[in-house]
Amino acid sequence: MNFWHTVAAITWKDTISEMRTKEIVSSVLVFTLLVIVIFNFSFGATQQTMKVVAPGILWVTFAFAGVLSLNRLFVPEKEQDCLEGLMVCPVSREAIYTGKMLGSLIFMLVVEVIALPIFTLLFNLPVLSLQIVTITVLATFGFVVVGTLFSAVAINTKAREMVLPILFFPIISPVIISAVKATEISLAGGSWSSLVPWLPMIAAFDAIFFVVSFLIFSYVIEE
Amino acid sequence: MNTNNILRNGLLILSFVLMTVSLYLVFVFVPTEREMGIVQRIFYLMVPTGWLALLSFVIIFIGSILYLVKRARKWDILAMSSAEIGIVFTTLALIVGSIWARPIWGVWWTWEPRLTATLVLWFIYLAYFMVRSLATDPERGARYSAIVGIIGLVDIPIIALSTTLWRGIHPGPVIFSGGLAPPMLLTLMVSLAAFTSFYFLLLQYKVSAKNDESLINTLRESIKSR
Amino acid sequence: MDQKDKASRDLAIKARDLAKPFGSYLALNGIDLDIQRGECVTIFGPNGAGKTTLIKVLATIMNPSAGTVWIDGINLKDNIEEVRRRIGIVTHQTFLYNNLTTYENLDFYCRMFGVPNRKERLLEVIETVGMTSRLHDRVGTLSRGMQQRVSFARSQLHKPPIMLLDEPETGLDQDSISMLWKMLKGSTEDRRTIVLTTHNLEQGLEFADRILIMDQGKIVYEGLRQSLDLPGLKKAYKSSTGALP
């Protein structure tokens, strides 16, 4: 059976389930907005300080939102042992990984699509530019490629809500560093070429960890 | 005497000799650095601890891959043992780095690239242990920590590169580019050799202790089920 | 070798020396199995005897740490996807997504198994378990018994010649249990191979051609249906496991 056919079936299944409950997207979105507002309180919200701290706020918010949504990713697979149901299907484990990963990417992007304009509005900063959208898509992809793998690990641990961030944050630190730096440069009006060390860094991270996670995912779910 | 004992005694003697020589070189032989003064001698401890932090992770990586492919406990024991040694040296590297930072930059902690990367590495070590102890059964713990061992090693160069681009104040990578005076280079090399030999000695001890432990557990289990 | 290969090709399930440790305890400890095509085998045993682990190994959910399994003569290590196509599994977990409807769940599994004419097959199967009227209800809103019926339908989508059932009656009310047994018996008629684990000695015995009893990762008793009645089975259970059934 066709690899992408399986991937599409899994992503589709996760997406309609999410569209029905809106469990992940709604809670993560509310969380994101709250974090943005609270950061506003803690930094005094003058235009001057905001310019300096906004990139950090944006990426801390998205990283935490990512953990929150990734924590839920394998919960439906655990209820009624659905993951075992998937494992007895004649499909490759790599397809299961890719399908789950794409589903998670969609949820995160939906949250960000709503959060970015609000961010623009509340911070009075031009966050909604092509440059920043590119950075966001690349960095979010980086989050979910390792996040999906670690989410599958965390689901079988005690205190999984705590395990995921402990695994996730150190590994994605290069993505956070690069995304913050690139956003900073972009907000200061830098050109595409001034984003150079950072965007390729995120892209390289994405490519490397997609391949590695793709290859080792089967070792996570196979007993 | 079996090969394990020969290996262990050989490493013990080698480590002892190299350590003694390196102490002599560091405190007596090598000249004091002109600008940084006496404190520069910490360098001969800082580089080897940092090196062992990395070397341990490379061994974890190798053990992890072999464990996932072959599912033989001995590879997990190798990775786990290396991790236990590695986190000690990573912690030491952070402490020594702080002690170095104090007189040079006037602060205990600075987000200097290599120090920052070492800190992230320390957190990855922590993740390695946490996921093992929080997994729902020991076999899962071994598998999950192997995943962290593989992902972690792949991430190290990327972390190092990103922190380097992010910040940049340090005596630069002068070590192998001929920037170091010959007596200093010699001292550094001997220290590195001494610590590396010491690492393998510790690894040998750890692995055999863990092997004994798992043997005892198996025996106990077989007595219980009788 | 030809002789041996032919023999294993004629068997629906063949296993040799299966072992699977959990920590330092062996959930499977040297299991050998030979199950003929069309045979119904019931496995009894106390909790923790290794029944579920055995089913999971046969279903390719778990890899044994030692030993080999052949399904329809195919070594699991050679072509695991082909093996998966030939197995249908029902456990006390339904493998269904609560937020999806019956239809969406079954359609999803049709896609995963590459079932041709999905819609037709799906409607046909749902008819056999009498759940057509609940086709567009979310699975989460169905009763436990109904969910198990949908789960049974799920396992039938790809027409597996081998059925593995791990305590399928757990958590069901009396009506659903008798419905389940009826469905199972229906599926024995088309000469399928069935491996069942259960705590229900009476039903399990009535259903089987052959009885196995497991304890501490080993098969401790084996008997044919013809040579056993319920009291005989209870006696065998007690003497081989030391526990009351």
- Residue A19, pLDDT above cutoff 50: yes
Cβ atoms of C64 and C98 closer than 8 Å: no
Instruction: Please tell me which residue of chain A has the smallest CA distance to B165.
Output: A197
Residues of A in contact with B151 (CB under 8 A): 146, 149, 171, 209, 212-213, 216
Residue numbers of A between 142 and 161 with CB closer than 8 Å to B: 146, 149, 153, 156-159
Which partners does chain A have (≥3 C-beta pairs < 8 Å)?
B, C
In this prediction, residue A93 carries a pLDDT of 93
- C24–B139 CB contact, under 8 Å: no
The Cα C203–Cα C205 span in angstroms is: 5
Q: Could you say which DSSP state residue B31 is in?
A: P
pLDDT band at C5 (very low <50, low <70, confident <90, very high): low
Class of domain C1-84+191-245: alpha beta
The Cα C196–Cα C198 span in angstroms is: 6
- B147–A208 CB contact, under 8 Å: no
- C93–A80 CB contact, under 8 Å: yes
Rg of chain C (C-alpha set): 18
In this prediction, residue C2 carries a pLDDT of 47
Instruction: Please tell me which residue of chain B has the smallest CA distance to C23.
Output: B138
Tens-digit pLDDT string for chain B (226 aa): 578 888 888 999 999 999 999 999 888 888 887 777 777 888 889 999 999 999 999 999 999 999 999 888 899 999 999 999 999 999 999 999 888 888 878 888 888 888 899 999 999 999 999 999 999 888 899 999 999 999 999 999 999 999 888 875 455 544 444 467 888 888 999 999 999 999 999 999 999 999 998 888 888 877 876 6
- C113–A89 CB contact, under 8 Å: yes
- Residue C77, pLDDT above cutoff 80: yes
Phi, psi of A91 (to 5 degrees): -130, 155
- A208 touches B at CB < 8 Å: yes
Number of cross-chain residue pairs from B and C with Cβ atoms under 8 Å apart: 16
Residues of A in contact with C84 (CB under 8 A): 88-90
| C167 closest CA partner among C20, C34, C87, C47 | C47
Which partners does chain B have (≥3 C-beta pairs < 8 Å)?
A, C
- Residue C21, pLDDT above cutoff 90: no
Residues of A in contact with B166 (CB under 8 A): 177, 181
In this prediction, residue C109 carries a pLDDT of 95
- C47 touches B at CB < 8 Å: no
Instruction: Please tell me which residue of chain B has the smallest CA distance to C64.
Output: B71
- A20 touches B at CB < 8 Å: no
ipTM value > 0.90: yes
Interfacial residues of A (vs C; Cβ cutoff 8 Å): 1, 5-6, 9, 13, 16-17, 20-21, 76, 79-82, 84-92, 222-223
* 3-state SS record for A17-58: HHHHHCHHHHHHHHHHHHHHHHHHHHCCCCHHHHHHHHHHHH
Q: Where are the domains of chain C?
A: 1-84+191-245
Residues of B in contact with A205 (CB under 8 A): 158
Q: Could you say which DSSP state residue B32 is in?
A: P
Burial class (CB in 10 A: 0-12, 13-18, 19+), B62: middle
- Residue C237, pLDDT above cutoff 50: yes
The Cα C138–Cα C101 span in angstroms is: 4
Please name the residues in contact with C168: beta carbons below 8 A apart, sequence gap of 6 or more: C90, C91, C92, C148, C152, C180, C184, C196, C198
Mean pLDDT throughout A113-119? 91
Mean pLDDT throughout C79-108? 93
- Residue A180, pLDDT above cutoff 90: yes
pLDDT band at A189 (very low <50, low <70, confident <90, very high): confident
Distance from the B209 Cα atom to the nearest Cα atom in chain A, whole angstroms: 27
Please name the residues in contact with B140: beta carbons below 8 A apart, sequence gap of 6 or more: A156, A223
Phi, psi of B32 (to 5 degrees): -70, 140
Distance from the C48 Cα atom to the nearest Cα atom in chain B, whole angstroms: 13
- A215 touches B at CB < 8 Å: no
In this predicted structure, which of A45-49, B165-169, C170-174, C208-212 has the lowest mean pLDDT? B165-169
Residues of B in contact with C24 (CB under 8 A): 214, 217-218, 220-221
Residues of C in contact with B73 (CB under 8 A): none
Distance from the A70 Cα atom to the nearest Cα atom in chain C, whole angstroms: 18
| Average pLDDT value over all residues in chain A | 91
- Sole residue written with tokens 């391949």: A211
Among the partner-chain residues B144, B148, B159, the one whose CB lies closest to the CB of A174 is: B159
- Residue C56, pLDDT above cutoff 90: yes
> What does the buried/exposed string (b/e) look like for C199-215 if buried means 16 or more CB atoms within 10 Å of the residue's CB?
ebbebbbebbbbbbbbb
pLDDT tens sequence across A136-173: 999 999 999 999 999 999 999 998 889 999 999 999 99
Residues of B in contact with A206 (CB under 8 A): none
- B163–A177 CB contact, under 8 Å: yes
| Average pLDDT value over all residues in chain C | 86
- B140–A156 CB contact, under 8 Å: yes
- C181 touches A at CB < 8 Å: no
The Cα B209–Cα B88 span in angstroms is: 18
In this prediction, residue B206 carries a pLDDT of 93
Q: Could you say which DSSP state residue B180 is in?
A: S
Residues of B in contact with C23 (CB under 8 A): 137-139
- Residue A42, pLDDT above cutoff 60: yes
The Cα B146–Cα B80 span in angstroms is: 9
- Residue A222, pLDDT above cutoff 50: yes
- A13–C97 CB contact, under 8 Å: yes
Enumerate long-range contacts of A68-71, CB under 8 Å, 24 or more apart: A68/A27, A68/A28, A68/A31, A69/A24, A69/A25, A69/A28, A69/A104, A69/A107, A69/A108, A69/A111, A70/A104, A70/A143, A70/A144, A70/A147, A70/A148, A70/A150, A70/A151, A70/A164, A70/A168, A71/A151, A71/A154, A71/A160, A71/A161, A71/A164
Q: Where are the domains of chain B?
A: 43-189
In this prediction, residue B17 carries a pLDDT of 94
The Cα A106–Cα A73 span in angstroms is: 12
Distance from the A155 Cα atom to the nearest Cα atom in chain C, whole angstroms: 17
In this prediction, residue A165 carries a pLDDT of 95
Instruction: Please tell me which residue of chain A has the smallest CA distance to B123.
Output: A170
- C21 touches B at CB < 8 Å: yes
The Cα C166–Cα C156 span in angstroms is: 15
Mean pLDDT throughout C201-206? 83
Q: At what angle do helices B73-105 and B43-70 cross, to 10 degrees?
A: 160
pLDDT band at A121 (very low <50, low <70, confident <90, very high): confident
Task: Taking the CA atoms of B35, B39, B44 and B48 in sequence, report the sign of the dihedral they define.
Answer: negative
Q: Which strand (E) or helix (H) includes residue C18?
A: strand C11-22
pLDDT band at C238 (very low <50, low <70, confident <90, very high): confident
Among the partner-chain residues B71, B137, B225, the one whose CB lies closest to the CB of C23 is: B137
Tell which wins on pLDDT, C229 or A66: A66
Q: Which token pair is B23?
A: 């102490």
* DSSP β-ladder status, C11-22 and C210-215: unpaired
Residue of B68, B90, B136, B147 for testing the chain A interface, max A β-carbons within 10 Å: B147
The alpha-helical segments, DSSP class H, found in C88-218 are 102-113, 118-128, 144-156, 174-189, 201-207
Residue of B73, B139, B226 for testing the chain C interface, max C β-carbons within 10 Å: B139
> What is the three-class DSSP state of B5?
helix
Residue numbers of C between 65 and 104 with CB closer than 8 Å to B: 65
Among the partner-chain residues A163, A169, A201, the one whose CB lies closest to the CB of B130 is: A163
Instruction: Please tell me which residue of chain A has the smallest CA distance to C104.
Output: A13
